[in-house]
Structure 1
C-alpha cells in the first residue's frame, strides 16, 4: 500500500503542477524556439525538470521516515545540486568546465559520503577487489560519463523520460526485493514524477525537461545503477535476486545512452571532427530518417531497452564472461542493422522524391523552370 501511495503521490503532484509551469513559461515567453538542430516545430516551454525534481524532493519528505532520509541524505543533496547546475545551464548557458565542476562535486558527495562506488570487477578478468584509488577513479568516470550520455539522448519527445522510466522501474523493484527499501521507495518516487512529466512530454510535447531534467535524471540513474551493480556483485550467490553478471546487467540498464554516445563519438572522430561537435547523427535521428514519427521512435527504443532487460533475466545465471560480450555484441548488431536499413530507406526516399527542377537544361543560357508546387511553396514562405 505504501508503495502504491508513494507512486501516486509523486504522480499527482507532478501532474497538477506541470500545467501551472507550462502556463507560466508561456506567459513569460520562456520557450525553446525551433531551428538549427532542433526538430520541434513550435515554441515550446522547457525546464520541465523543475517539476520532476521538486516533486521527488517533496515526496521524499512526505513518505520517507527519518532513518530512511538519513540513509540517502547525500544522494538527495547531490540530486539537488545537479538540479541547480541544470537550471543554471538552462537559464544562462554554462561552459563545459563549469558543468563538469558541478557534476564532479555532486559525484564526490555520493562516492565519498555515501560510499556508492564500483568496489570490484566481481571476478571478471580475475579482479575481485579494486584498490581504493582505482575504485574512486572508475566510479567518477562512470557517473560523469553516464550522466552526460543520458543528457545527449534528450532530443526527442518522450525519449529520455521513457528510458529513465523503464530503468527506474526495474531498479525500484530490485532494491525493494533485496531489502534496500530507502533506495527502492526513492526510485519509485522518481518513477511517479517522470510518468507525470511524460503525460505532457509525449508527442506533440507541451514541455521539454531541459538540462534541468536531463542532467538530474542522468545523474541519479548513473548513481542508482552503480549502487545496483555493486550491491548485486557483492551479495551472496544463494540470493534469489542475484544476477551473476553485475557489470553486464548495469550496461544493459543504460544500453541506449551508452551505445548512442559511443557510436556518435566514434563517427565524429573517424571523420576528423571533435567528438563533442553537435550534429544530427544520434540513433533517434537515424530512426526519424526512416520515416518514423517521434512517438514511434520512442516506442521502438523503449522495446529495445525492454529486450536488453529481458536478456539479463534470461541470462541471470551466467557470468560477465558470457553476458558482457552478449550484451555488447547484440547492441553492435542492432546498430549495424539500423545503419544499413536507414541508408537503404534514405536512398529509396531520395529516389522516389519528385525533382525540384522540371525539365533539363538544353543550353547553358536557359534558366531552370521550377515545378509549380515548389514555386507555390516558395511564394507562400516569402509571404
Structure 2
C-alpha cells in the first residue's frame, strides 16, 4: 500500500464523502484486501468454482485496463487468466488436482488489489465511453459471489451464536449441490450470475454509486432469499421421493434371511439342473 500507493482514497460523493483521511484510507484498504482475499478462499469449495470465478473477473479487469491505457495492470490480469486456464483444465470436475489455500489466497489477493486499482484508475481516465460512474459498486460486482457468500455465512453463524470462522456447509455452492447440481454445473451457474451482475454495471455505467449500490444490495439479498427457499423446497422433494432409511434396512435384512422351505422343494417340481 505504501510503496505502490495501492489504497482506497475517495468515496467519490457516496453519502457526501469524497477524499478520505490518510489513516482511514489505509485502515479501510487493509480491511478490504484481507477480507476479500479470505472471502475468495472460502468460495473454493468445489471443483472448478474458484478458477471459473477468478477468470471472469481477470478477463473483465484486463480488458478494461488495456482499453483505458493502463497496460501494465492489463498484462498482469491476462497473465493470471492464462495461469488459471492452464490449472482449470485439471481442476474441472472430476478434478485431478486441487487449488488449496495457497492458490485461492494468491488469486484473492491479486483480485482485491486489482479491484482497488480499478477504483482509483477509473476516476482519472479521460475516456468517457468506458468510464464507470459507480466505481465502488462495479468493484463489488466483480467480486460479488465471494463477497456476498462470506457476509451471508458470517451473519448466519453469528445469529446461531457460533464463531463466524467455524467451518460448515452453509455456503452458496453447498446449497446448489443440495438441489442436485454437479460441481461443474454449480461453477457455471455462479459464473453466469457473476457475468450478469457485471453486464448490469456496464449497462448502467452512467449511474452513480448512490443508486447502483442499493440496487446491487437488493438484487443480491433478494437472490439469496429465493435460493434459500428453492433449496429447501428441492431438498424436501428429494427426501419425499427417497425411500426411508429404516425401510431400506428392513428390506436388506429380510433379503439376507430369505430361505427356501425344504417342504416346498419336496412337493413342487423343481429343475435341479
TM over 0.5: yes
Structure 2 counterpart of 1:307, from 185, 189, 196? 196
Where structure 2 has 5 or more consecutive residues not aligned to the other structure, the ranges are 257-273
**Does structure 1 residue 134 correspond to structure 2 residue 4?**
no
Shift of 1:358: 3.0
SS at match of 1:205: coil
Tell whether 2:42 aligns with 1:152. yes
Q: Deviations over 1:23-58 (max 9, x none)?
A: xxxxxxxxxxxxxxxxxxxxxxxxxxxxxxxxxxxx
Q: Are residues 183 and 155 of structure 1, via their aligned partners in 2, closer, same or farther at CA, if it must alter by over 3 Å?
A: same
Distance 2:218 2:123 in 1: 22
2-structure distance, mates of 1:174, 1:289: 36
TM-score scaled by length of structure 2: 0.91
CA distance in 2, matches of 1:272, 1:374: 45
Measure, in 2, the Cα distance between the counterparts of 1:222 and 1:374: 59
Which aligned pairs between 1:90-105 and structure 2 lie closer than 5 A?
none
2:163 aligned counterpart, secondary structure? coil
Larger radius of gyration: 2
Which residue pairs with 1:165 in the alignment?
Answer: 55
Write out per-residue CA displacement over residues 284-342 of structure 1, whole angstroms, 9 at most, x where no aligned residue: 00000000000110000010000000010011010011111111111111111100000
Q: Which residue of 1 aligns with 2:169?
A: 280
1:373 to partner: Cα distance:
8.4
8 Å Cα contact 2:122/2:132 also seen in 1: yes
Query: 2: distance between equivalents of 1:170 and 1:278?
Result: 31
After superposition, the CA RMSD in angstroms is: 1.6
Structure 1's 351 and 321: CA in aligned 2 closer, same or farther, altered over 3 A? same
Preserved CA contact (<8 Å) 1:146 1:258: yes
Please state if 1:371 is matched with 2:247.
no
The answer to whether the 8 Å contact 1:228/1:250 transfers is yes
Please say if residues 356 and 374 of structure 1, whose CA atoms lie closer than 8 Å, have aligned partners that are also in contact.
no
**Alpha-carbon shift at residue 350 of structure 1 (Å):** 1.1
The superposition leaves residues 100-145 of structure 1 with CA deviations (integer Å, 9 ceiling, x where unpaired) of xxxxxxxxxxx11100110000111111100111111110000000
Q: Is the 8 A contact 2:92 2:184 kept in 1?
A: yes
Distance 2:194 2:251 in 1: 45
What is the distance in 2 between the residues matched to 1:373 and 1:309?
56
- Deviation of the 1:374 alpha carbon: 10
After TM superposition, list the pairs within 5 Å mapping 1:30-49 onto structure 2.
Answer: none
- Paired with 1:370 and 1:153, the residues of 2 have a C-alpha distance of 40
- Give yes or no for the alignment of 1:208 onto 2:98: yes
- After superposition, the C-alpha distances for 1:247-278 in whole angstroms (9 at most, x for unaligned) are 00000000000100000001101111100000
Aligned to 2:267: none
CA apart distance, 1:164: 0.4
Give the gaps of 5 or more residues in structure 1.
Answer: 1-110, 360-368, 377-383
1:219 aligned partner: 109
Tell me the residue number matched to 1:330: 219
* Mapped pair 1:112 → 2:6: no
1:342 aligned residue (217, 222, 231) = 231
Partner of residue 260 from structure 1, selected from 136, 139, 149: 149
Q: Is the 8 A contact 1:356 1:371 kept in 2?
A: no
TM-score where L is the length of structure 1: 0.65
Q: What is the alpha-carbon distance in structure 2 between the residues aligned to residue 193 and residue 218 of structure 1?
A: 14
Q: In the comparison of the two structures, how many residue pairs are matched? A: 256
What are the Cα deviations for residues 79-101 of structure 1, in whole angstroms up to 9, with x where unaligned?
Answer: xxxxxxxxxxxxxxxxxxxxxxx
Distance 1:143 1:354, change over 3 A: same
